[in-house]
Amino acid sequence: MDAIVTAGGIPQPEDPLYEYSHGDSKALLDVAGKPMIQWVLDALGEAEKVDNVVIIGLTEKSGVTCKKPTYYVPNQGRMLANIVAGIDQVLEINPQAEYVLTASSDIPALKGEMVDWLIDTAMQTQDDIYYGIVPREVMEARFPGANRTFTKLKDMEVCGADIHVAHKSMTTDPEHLAMWEDLIGKRKSPLKQAASIGFMTLFLLLLGQLTLDDLVARVVKRLNITGRPIVWDHAEPAMDVDKPHQLEILRADLAKQDA
C-alpha cells in the first residue's frame, strides 16, 4: 500500500508552536535531533507493507528522506486538497491502487510495526474508510500529561489517531468532497463534527448515550459510506504535536529511546 504524509502546516503567530517554528513548516520542528516528519518517514520506511511514500507540502530541499521510493507534492493550501493531491499522485504512480494510507507529519513516536498492523487489520474487510481511535486509558498510560481531547462515549472515551486507511473513492467521488471538507475543518472539535452528522447525534453524544457502534452506524449512514473503527492498543498513532508541552513530551520520550 502507498502512503501519504501531510506536511503542509506552517504555524502562524497566534499558534502556540510559532515560537518554535518561526514561520517554517511544523513538520520540520526538531524532535530529538531529527525533523519531526523524519521520525514518521523512518517508520514508513521500516514498514514491510508500505510501497511508496508521497510527501505533501515539502520539497527535496527539506532534506528529509525515506527508505521507500519518495515523491513530493506542493502544499495545496487546505488539508483536504492536500489529501486529494496525494491520492492523485498515488494513482499516477500506481493506477491499480485501491486503498491509500494517510499519516500526519506530527506523530513522531510511530513505529514501522504499527503501520504494518494497521494495514493488515484494515484489509481484513473491504470498507471505504478505517478510522483509528485510541482509548483514554491507553493514551494516559503511555503519555501521561499529554492532555489530548477525548470524546466521551457510553462504552469508552477515545481520541482520534492521525494515521488512517481509506479507499481512493473517498476523494475521487465528488459526492463526498463537501462533507469531508466540513468534517476535516472541525477535526479538533468532536462536538462540532457530531453536529455536522446531525442534531440527534450531537444530542445523544452530549448525553453520553452513544456507544462506539452507535456512532459509527450514524456516521456511515449520514455519509453513505462503509467504515470501520480501528481501536489501537498503542498510543503513539494518536500522540500528535499541537501544543508546546506535547512537543516537549515527545522530545524527551524519543531522546530516551534513541539513547
**Which cell goes with 40?**
514518521
Residue 193 has pLDDT above 60, yes or no: no
User: Cell numbers 519518495 correspond to what residue?
Assistant: 70
pLDDT at residue 155 in the model: 86
CA distance 142 to 134: 11
Confidence of residue 185 (pLDDT cuts 50, 70, 90): low
The more confident residue out of 16 and 178 is 16
Band of residue 31 on the pLDDT scale cut at 50, 70, 90: very high
Least confident range from 32-36, 142-146, 180-184, 225-229: namely: 180-184
Q: What is the pLDDT of residue 114?
A: 98
- pLDDT band at residue 8, thresholds of 50, 70 and 90? confident
- Domains held by the chain: number: 1
Which is higher by pLDDT, 78 or 238? 238
Provide the residue range defining the domain that includes 107.
2-258
Q: Which of 9-18, 109-118, 193-202 has the highest mean pLDDT?
A: 109-118
Q: Report CA-CA distances (Å) from 55 to 74, 136, 181.
A: 9, 30, 20
User: Could you tell me the pTM of the whole model?
Assistant: 0.88
SS (H, E, C) the chain: CEEEEECCCCCCCCCCCHHHHCCCCHHHCEECCEEHHHHHHHHHHHCCCCCCEEEECCCHHHCCCCCCCEEEECCCCCHHHHHHHHHHHHHHHCCCCCEEEEEECCCCCCCHHHHHHHHHHHCCCCCCEEEEEEEHHHHHHHCCCCCCCCEECCCCEEEECCEEEEECHHHHCHHHHHHHHHHHHCCCCHHHHHHHHCHHHHHHHHCCCCCHHHHHHHHHHHHCCCEEEEECCCCHHHCCCCCHHHHHHHHHHHHHHHC
Give me the CATH number covering residue 86.
3.90.550.10
Express each pLDDT in 92-139 by its tens digit. Answer: 999 999 999 999 999 999 999 999 999 999 999 999 889 898 999 999
Parallel, antiparallel, or unpaired for β 53-56 and 70-73?
Answer: parallel
Q: What angle do CA 41, 42, 44 make, to 5 degrees?
A: 65
